[in-house]
Amino acid sequence: MNDDIDALLTGKPLVAPPGFAARLTALAQATPQLQEQSRAFRPWQWAFLGAGASLGALQLCEFVFVAFVAAGAQ
């Protein structure tokens, strides 16, 4: 197994065929490109984002309140 790897590493490296870069560039220019959709948030996404932020803020307020009550109890 090690001999196979050594032979592979010491052998001639793979070379692209002649004109490969030009053919690839021409193919990329000839291929129709897909248009990306707008990354703007939709109204329902804003609603879920607001609901998640509200729940997070509520949990943070609960934590601070409980910590305040626990500190005041001592």
Please report whether residue 5 resides in a domain.
Answer: no
Please report whether residue 21 resides in a domain.
Answer: no
Please report whether residue 58 resides in a domain.
Answer: yes
Range of the domain at 70: 43-74
Prediction pTM value? 0.45
In the block, residue with structure tokens 């609603």: 47
Please report whether residue 14 resides in a domain.
Answer: no
pLDDT tens readout for residues 33-44? 888 877 787 889
Mean pLDDT by 10 residues, the chain (74 residues): 77 81 91 81 90 97 95 84
Please report whether residue 71 resides in a domain.
Answer: yes
Identity of residue 73: A
Please report whether residue 60 resides in a domain.
Answer: yes
Distance between CA atoms of residues 74 and 63, nearest Å: 17
Please report whether residue 38 resides in a domain.
Answer: no
Please report whether residue 54 resides in a domain.
Answer: yes
Domain count, the chain: 1
